[in-house]
Amino acid sequence: MVLIQINFASVKMKFFVMFLFLFIINCSGLTDSEYNRMPPIYHLDNYESCLQRSGDVYCTTHFSLVSEAPSELLDIIHEYSKDTATHFNHSKLRYGLCLLESCNSYHTREATVTTQLLEACLNRTFRDQYNLQTRVTKFYCNEYNETAENNFSDFCMGLILFSLAGLAIFSTFLDIFLPNIKLEEWYWSVQLY
């Protein structure tokens, strides 16, 4: 008969470590359904398809979530975002908006983009989907530009590319049409002593 010794202290330690690991994993504070209620931190409309016609405007917008009335979702977002070591701040969002697509009822081709215009556009979406409002902190806009601007760095880059292409063509010409030159004899005859 074989006796099996069981070290109960070792088994207890393994169960304790496994329990502690599972406890730490579940201590994020949010269930999946609560996390999915939060708006995405980043959203980008298609930049290239936005700037196709004169008057098209694409704005990158940084904004904060706010609420005039008490909001359970905003409280969840602030509580979740407190842990900056492991969580992104879900109350500070960054969106790229094509104004004629996302904000067509607030923006016309002739209108100037303002903080109020962007907040009105974002508030429509956030009020409908999350019952929250936004406060734009900064924004940058690009408009359709029919003429391409050339600067000195463009000229320098073109000059370098044309020089390399010219050098490649010249060396190919030498290699094809002058194969009988013995470079060793030419090298020794040119070298100065």
Q: Which domain holds residue 40?
A: 13-143
Question: What kind and span of H or E run contains 34?
Answer: helix 32-37
Residue 138, helix vs strand vs coil: strand
Confirm whether 139 is domain-assigned. yes
Backbone region of residue 55 per phi and psi (left: phi > 0; alpha: psi in -120 to 50; beta: other values): left
Confirm whether 162 is domain-assigned. no
Closest CA to 96 of 43, 138, 53: 43
Confirm whether 151 is domain-assigned. no
The pLDDT tens digits along the chain (193 residues) read: 455 555 555 656 665 655 554 454 445 567 888 888 999 999 999 998 888 877 788 999 999 999 988 989 999 999 999 888 888 999 999 999 998 888 877 766 667 888 998 999 999 989 999 999 999 999 999 888 766 677 888 899 999 999 999 999 988 887 777 766 666 665 656 565 5
Question: What kind and span of H or E run contains 134?
Answer: strand 133-143
Q: Kindly state the tokens that stand for 69.
A: 């009335």
Predicted confidence at residue 96, as pLDDT, reads 94
* pTM for the model: 0.60
Predicted confidence at residue 51, as pLDDT, reads 86
Confirm whether 175 is domain-assigned. no
In total, how many domains does the chain have?
1
Predicted confidence at residue 184, as pLDDT, reads 62
Q: Is there a contact between 100 and 52 (Cβ–Cβ < 8 Å)? A: no
Contacts of 80 (CB under 8 A, 6+ apart): 29, 30, 35, 38, 87, 90
Closest CA to 95 of 68, 124, 62: 62
Confirm whether 154 is domain-assigned. no
Phi, psi of 66 (to 5 degrees): -140, 170
Confirm whether 170 is domain-assigned. no
Predicted confidence at residue 187, as pLDDT, reads 60
Q: Kindly state the tokens that stand for 17.
A: 């470590």
Predicted confidence at residue 31, as pLDDT, reads 84
Phi, psi of 176 (to 5 degrees): -85, -45
Confirm whether 191 is domain-assigned. no
Confirm whether 166 is domain-assigned. no
